[in-house]
Amino acid sequence: MPELAYLNGEILPIEKACIPIEDRGYQFGDAVYEFIASYNEKLFCLEQHLDRLERSMQGLSLPKIPREDIRAAVMTLFEKAGIARAGIYMQISRGVSPRNHPFPESAKPQFVMTIRPVEEKPPELRLTGSTAITVEDYRWGRCDLKTVQLLPNVLAKQKAQEAEAFDAIFVSPEGVVREGTSSNVFVVAGGRLMTHPLTPQILPGITRAVVIELGRSIDLPVEERFFNVDDLLSAEEAFFTGTVTEVLPIVTVDRKHIGEGRVGSITSCLYDALRQQAGA
């Protein structure tokens, strides 16, 4: 099960893969990315991830790369690595060019990927639940595009770690709960499943969409609407969703219990349903 990299058509060991110093993704954050996971040798929601990648590229006006070429490169890397539970990170930058803010006229996109075994979330978090803190959201205004401009996310995650919490939840200046540093946030309240609507302030999570459909399939009312920190703290259940996060219960926020302070039945049901759909 080799850990491999893909660099503009070449597959090689990760430690031998290098990009030029004047790559615009490195110098300007002028790049987009995706992360796809597999279960039992099958990539989950590949086409949905490619849909989002295309949308992010369009949002940054990156040069177009044919979807079939991206898909073929992903599958080639995945099959060559032979990792049953793999995580594929892909990144596309505007290219390599002498440092200058305007788009270069001649640069070609840089397409890189890595593949490794998925680093699973600690199993005890599935049983006892995770903890979170809230932080003010000061990210840029297009969080719906999956760009590599993640420094606020990094700083928020570090703040959570220093507070001995699993993650941080971004909250608007008005108190609206948005999302985690690398995940979406759901609450269960009054028998309803609620999550922030799709706006430029949150990422349209692939797992988020799957969980919404799973909720509806078990006749659980689902609302995509704004809710605040008080709504979060008074909810019966809360959880994060993400490609590797899957459905991860939240039992405390800012050291205050959510519901009874333990993993809820709806959260557990949705986690099981997601795993089943993914073929885990």
Please give the domain boundaries of the chain with CATH numbers for all domains: 4-117 (3.30.470.10), 123-278 (3.20.10.10)
For the sheet containing 86-93, what is the strand order? 10-13, 4-7, 110-117, 86-93, 31-39, 42-43
Residue with tokens 């590599």: 148
Tell me what pLDDT residue 1 has: 64
Q: Which residues of the chain have pLDDT under 50?
A: none
Tell me what pLDDT residue 109 has: 97
- Whole-model pTM: value is 0.95
**For residue 35, which of 22, 27, 26, 44 has the smallest C-alpha distance?**
44
- The number of helices, as runs of H, and strands, as runs of E, in the chain is 8, 15
Interstrand relation of 10-13 and 4-7 (parallel, antiparallel or unpaired)? antiparallel
Rounded to an integer, what distance in angstroms lies between the CA atom of residue 229 and that of residue 221?
Answer: 21
Tell me what pLDDT residue 280 has: 80
Q: What single-letter amino acid sits at 129?
A: G
Tell me what pLDDT residue 2 has: 80
Q: 181, 138 in Cβ contact below 8 A?
A: no
Active-site pick, 146, 157, 159, 256: 146
146 is catalytic: yes
How many Cβ atoms sit within 10 Å of the Cβ of residue 221? Answer: 11
